[in-house]
Structure 1
Amino acid sequence: MRAAVTREPGSVSIEEIDKPVPAMGEVLVRLAATGICHTDLSMVSGALPAPLPFVPGHEGAGVVEATGPGVEDVGVGDHVVLSIVVSCGSCYQCGLGNLSICEVGSAMAPGGLLLDGTTRLSNGGEEFHSLLCQSSLAEYAVVPSNSAVPIPKDIPFPVASLLACGGGTGFGAVVRRTTLWIGSSVVVIGCGGVGLTAIMAAKVRGATTIIAVDPSAGARAMAEKVGATHVLDPDGDRVLRSVMELTGRGADVAIDAVGRKGTVETAFQSIRAGGEVVAVGIDDASNEVELDLYGFMMQKRVTGTYAGSLVPRIDIPAALALYRDGRLPLDVLVSETYTLDDVPGLLTNEIRLPPGRAVVCFDQPEERP
């Protein structure tokens, strides 16, 4: 099969490698669409650590082509989203319902391995690491079966792929990690795929003041299109003063979908006493946060999330139901589509990523009777 391969930081090439074979509890998926997430760029560049060589991509959707032994929850021909929530189902965190921070998945996925501690990706005798148990910038991917979430066959694959990572993270950050209520106010810092979906989810939850912060005019325009009531340019506007003027006391909730130096601090300063911050993004593994103790004495709360803290087989179908109902306009985020041959340029900044989401589309898988 053809796959994008990173052999050294800052380099991506399209190579022919072996078609993977699913093992116990795994499925083989022929990819139809894969979104380009900022995490892919960070891992390719080396800003976030990744074992080399590896096959990038972690926002995939496609059709199940084969199943390994013991798989009963999905079948050949099913349309699926490949969630980055990888869980064993039996560890302490899984027992608590915290599937996104499964102790096994959290250990194996960042190390480029599947849940059994091995990889399915190879070319002859050479092995390749996977990315977050997925590696979907390839024609095929093998994933744990519980990460393959069945979806209705009328949902477009580019739309569905958004919920594998970015869209699912933004959605879950709101519905799983905040206490947003009808009439509340929210600040969203960063209007890429994660932030834009958080804006949509905040609107669904009934927030009436939704303030989007992003230096890109295109991103701010898209934020208004999906539900932001106000937009701010951090390079030109006085963000904290504007938030206070718009809310009267500070926002009820702030979501940092960027994770650069100073963005969590801005989120913390923008909320009212008793408000809450959800840290979602990270662009460099060495980033640190410094917050004032007095803010905590004023009962401000800070939490974080990986993958939106989703329960994939509950939350992804719920998000798609809202999409079908016109309340979660995920299709607006699909701003440009590309082919697998474009991936080296997309992941090394030779091709400038558009606001919203760039999605790599593969040949449409044939339907099986």
Structure 2
Amino acid sequence: MRIRGAVLEEIGRERPYAASRPLTISELELSDPGPGEVLVRMEAAGLCHSDLSVVDGNRVRPVPMLLGHEAAGRVEALGPGVEDLRVGQRVVMVFLPRCEECAGCATDGRMPCAPGTAANNAGELLGGGTRLHRDGEPVAHHLGVSAFATHAVVDRRSVVAVPDEVPPEVAAVLGCAVLTGGGAVVNAGAWAPGQTLAVVGLGGVGMAALLTAVGLGHGPVVGVDAVPAKLERALALGAAAAWSPADALAAGVSADVVVEAAGHPKAFETAVELTAPGGRTVTVGLPSPTARSSISPLGLVAQARSIVGSYLGSAVPARDVPRYAQLYLDGALPVEELVTRRIALDDVNEALDELAEGRAVRQVIVFD
């Protein structure tokens, strides 16, 4: 079938992206779903730093590539062997599918799926190969999803069904921002009642971590970011306090669990400094592969602090997405507050500038 989508032509074009236009809105051919695959009509897709990291070259992927990985839509067709979904059902896209057979899948979310990671790096689906073509040439999939398009064919293991009562914009954000940020608090952070929690970096993932923590209500939640508007938003969402990094360090702020979601070495250093004795730093941000930080090993040893890396919030999507969906339906997780801007597919290059300049929490492409 013919679809319309945003294709990354080359990596590393200069900003502003509104002028350099790294993404081209193209007509493409999408194959029918094969065995174990699903055709999804997109309803909403969020813009995330993981998309930006491919555009700016921090994460090198094959191009041309149809970008987008955080999304929700309706099932339009089922490939042979898919019997646990129905046409018309709303599904959340998952950007790291799990084969459920490798050593990584046996760690309850702590380690990523090895075949899923290999497929993502190759720009293919978990079942192998691509389903996208333009002018007869293959186009790579982004993280097994390629959500910046009207439709996508994905592996069954790249979707999780949610109730129809979950709106598409909320469902989309569940699949990355909430799965990653919430998982940093619940899974990797193991935040417990009576403890304090701080979030360093209040973009989409960081704000989702803060929102999840506020909803859990185990103890005071502190937001840390260099952008004043984000600090104001954190307070509006229920944070007990909000600080700039410099002010937080000067004031001696500390927390039992600190989530670093900025993906910057200085943010990581700040998060470690803010971690209380006996506490845990959880880092979920994705910095440049060449980024380096400087911390005191003595501070870890003498104060019994620990640092935990967490990819995708150490989540098992089939387990965790329904949990967050239910928290939303119960009124405990107002995910809609993360969406700060709604755009059309044609506006995606300008939206990348908003993301790169730190002005947006979550921008969502809304499809007709």
Superposition TM-score, scaled by structure 2 size: 0.92
Conserved 8 A contact 1:338-1:361: yes
Q: Is the 8 A contact 1:36 1:359 kept in 2?
A: yes
CA distance in 1, matches of 2:75, 2:358: 29
State which of 125, 129, 135 in structure 1 corresponds to 2:136: 125
- Is the Cα contact below 8 Å between 2:110 and 2:310 reproduced in 1? no
Separation of aligned partners in 1, 2:222 and 2:57: 32
- Matches of residues 285-296 of structure 1 in structure 2 within 5 Å? 285-296=289-300
The change in CA–CA distance for 1:152 and 1:256 in structure 2 (over 3 A counts) is same
- For 2:195, the aligned partner's letter is S
Alignment-derived partner of residue 324 in structure 1: 329
In structure 2, stretches of 5+ residues that fail to align are 14-21
Q: Distance in 2 between matches of 1:255 and 1:243?
A: 17
Give the secondary-structure state (helix, strand or coil) at the position aligned to 2:188.
Answer: coil
Match of 2:362 among 357, 360, 368: 357
Look up the equivalent residue of 2:148 and give its one-letter code: L
- SS at structure 1 position matched to 2:229: helix
Would you say 1:334 and 2:336 are equivalent positions?
A: no
Q: What whole-Å deviation, never above 9, does each CA across 1:322-356 have from its counterpart, x for those lacking one?
A: 11122111011111111111112223559977432
Alpha carbons 2:201, 2:267 under 8 Å: kept: no
Cα deviation, 1:5-29, whole Å, max 9, x if unaligned, reads 1111231110000123222211110
Pick from 228, 238, 244: which aligns with 2:239?
A: 228
Secondary structure of the residue aligned to 2:141 is coil
Contact 2:201–2:261 (8 Å) recurs in 1: yes
Q: Which residue does 1:93 correspond to in 2? A: 104
- Deviation per residue, 1:31-79 (Å, 9 max, x gap): 0000011111121121221211101101110001111121122221110
Percentage identity across paired residues of the two chains: 37
Correspondence for 2:348: 343
SS of match in other structure, 1:259? coil
After TM superposition, the score normalised by the length of structure 1 is: 0.92
- Distance across 2 between alignment mates of 1:357 and 1:138: 18
Give, in whole Å, the separation in 2 of the partners of 1:217 and 1:159: 25
Residue aligning to 2:5: 3
| Distance in 1 (alpha carbons) for counterparts of 2:106 and 2:52 | 33
Indicate whether 1:241 and 2:245 are aligned. Answer: no
**Corresponding residue to 1:219 among 227, 230, 233:** 230
- Partners of 2:332 and 2:173 in 1: CA distance: 16
- Provide structure 1 residue ranges, at least 5 long, that are not aligned to the other structure: 245-249, 364-369
Q: CA contact under 8 A between 1:57 and 1:136: conserved in structure 2?
A: yes
The 8 Å contact of residues 72 and 168 in structure 2, kept in 1 or not, is answered as yes
**Counterpart residue number, 1:367:** none
Q: 2:284 aligns with which of 277, 280, 283?
A: 280
- CA distance in 1 between counterparts of 2:9 and 2:270 reads 37
Q: Does 1:167 pair with 2:146?
A: no
CA contact (8 A) 1:178 1:278 kept: yes
Q: Which secondary structure does the structure 2 equivalent of 1:32 belong to?
A: strand
Counterpart contact for 1:86–1:99, Cα < 8 Å? no
- 1:114-146 residue CA offsets vs partner (Å, 9 max, x unmatched): 113311111242011111100100111122212
Query: 1:181 aligned to 2:201?
Result: no
Matched AA of 1:280: V
Whether the 8 Å contact between 1:57 and 1:134 is mirrored in structure 2 is yes
Following superposition, the deviation at residue 299 of structure 1 comes to 1.5
Q: Does 1:115 align with 2:122?
A: no
Deviation at 1:291, TM superposition (A): 2.5
CA shift in 2, pair 1:36/1:100, >3 Å: farther
Structure 1's consecutive aligned runs of 4 or more residues displaced over 6 angstroms after TM superposition are 350-353
The residue that corresponds to 1:58 in the other structure is: 69
Structure 1 residue matching 2:250: 3-state secondary structure? helix
Q: Distance in 1 between matches of 2:110 and 2:119?
A: 14
